[in-house]
A and B are shown apart, each in its own frame.
Chain A
Amino acid sequence: MKTTKTIFQDGNHKWVAIVRDPEKPNYLIDTNEYLVTHGEQGILLDPGGAEVFPAVFSALSSEFDPSALAAIFASHQDPDICSSLALWLEFNPKMRCYVSWLWASFIPHFGGTADTFITIPDEGTDISLAGLILRAVPAHYLHSSGNFNLYDKVAKVLFSGDVGAALLPPGEDGLFVENFDTHIRYAEGFHKRWMGSNEAKRRWCERVAQMDIDMLCPQHGAIYQGADVQRFINWFDELQVGIVSA
């Protein structure tokens, strides 16, 4: 089963990371899911693939009443992001899914109906969670062509999807980045290959550098906090992406 770690809390406003299932088969990529709660409501960010649904559901339900989940935020369309959608909807058919307009007719192949999806325009949108405003921030082509991060300016947390992701070896899979230089080696290959556009990357770096961020939370790997957030932005800005040796 996955474990939950509360990474931010102010009253009933919480960010909970759902991470690291020791029983997960190795052939499935490891993913981080994040639960944001405010008031009596919750939103689940990148709920994960169908195969990890039992582990995510059980971990989440140990922290929060899953029937109070108002929505899912899907950063993009990949199977490790939201192929569990049908199962979440089976539990709560009223749940909504925020996703780029680009994928609104693709993701229903995983589940959901026309009523399920709330499409996000390219420029992003505000998402209200019981009065808390979360901002869907454009991160197109990083790596998906219709891609969003989610920013909570109160908690100063940016859910960055695949940006900042690292494929960590066993034994070095702590929840937070402890040594940036060591950690970033596990992120480099991923970013060079998965991120397709230097121009998109530059725009993203410019945008997020202006935001007040305490924690940058990727969907794979460890969370950057404090000075490591800016360190990551600088590193990413200088990295040449969209490279494959073949």
Chain B
Amino acid sequence: MTTALATTNTKASQAGVDLLRIVRINEEIKSVVAVAFKINIMALNAIFLAKRAGTAARGFGVLSNELRVFSQDLRDCMASLTGLIHGCVTEVSLVLQDIRHTRLLRQAVALSSVPRMAAVLAEREMENDRHTQRLVSLRKQLKRALEDAFQMVELGGVLAKSAKIEAAYGQSFALPLAQVSGEFDSIVEEIRTSLESLRRSAFFTGN
């Protein structure tokens, strides 16, 4: 096998693996979006519960409202991650197409003596580099957006834990408030776990 062919095969295999990793990231993002929507509903219920509990649960009400805002912000953040994911899918698909075209053009150069074909191959390789660079850039943007999402979830975790503390001051409503705040906490933890696994994705580490 020639060096060029071996390199082409390695690149194709890497692009295929990248596509699979992107698909997995997207599936994880979809699950986070579904959970974020659940927080929104739960927070709405918690706001009503806090209103019924009156002044004793005022702090809890404020936190529930913040959790609702957090849920919306998280969904917006996930939407932008989804946009970046779609961009990555497009670029990886182009890279896969580039690899096939480059292989065939390279064979044409080897078999023919048309000087223009060597120039076409050179142009193709420059275009390939542009696609690869765009993918590198998107990968960085995605990583940054993921870090932002993670920071946001850290804040969500603080809000959920504060709600747990506030629930203790809920007097006769303390038990249902504690139950709701516990659910907040476990759901935010679930999101944190998902994002942690995304951060560790080999798509970012390159392993």
Contacts and interface: CB of A to CB of B under 8 A. Distances in A.
Given A91-B116, A91-B117, A1 B104 contact: no
A44 B124 CA distance: 23
Nearest to B121: A90
A114 to B, nearest CB: 20
B interface secondary structure, majority: helix
Nearest to B114: A61
Contact of B105 (A65, A66, A87): A87
Given A61-B114, A66-B114, A90-B101, A54 B120 contact: no
Nearest to B100: A50
A57 B120 contact: no
A152 to B, nearest CB: 26
B104 A50 contact: yes
A62 interface: yes
B205 interface: no
Interface string A37-76: 0000000000000110111011001100111000000000
A54 B104 contact: yes
A17 B100 CA distance: 26
Contacts, number: 45
A61 B105 contact: no
B2 interface: no
Interface residues of A, number: 17
Nearest to A90: B120
A interface majority secondary structure: helix
A51 B104 contact: yes
B79 interface: no
A87 B101 contact: yes
Nearest to A62: B112
B108 interface: yes
Contacts of B207: none
Interface string B125-150: 00000000000000000000000000
A43 to B, nearest CB: 18
A61 B104 contact: no
A86 interface: yes
Nearest to A53: B104
Interface in A84-111: 86-87, 90-91
Interface of B: 100-101, 104-105, 107-108, 110-114, 116-117, 120, 123-124
10 contacts: A53-B104, A54-B108, A54-B110, A57-B111, A61-B114, A66-B117, A87-B104, A87-B108, A90-B120, A91-B117
Task: Please give me the 9 A-B residue pairs with the lowest Cβ-Cβ distance, nearest first.
Answer: A58-B111, A54-B107, A58-B112, A54-B108, A61-B112, A57-B108, A61-B114, A53-B104, A91-B120
Given A50-B104, A51-B104, A87-B101, 20 more contacts: A53-B104, A53-B108, A54-B104, A54-B105, A54-B107, A54-B110, A55-B111, A57-B114, A58-B108, A58-B112, A61-B114, A65-B114, A66-B114, A66-B116, A67-B114, A67-B116, A87-B105, A87-B108, A90-B120, A91-B120
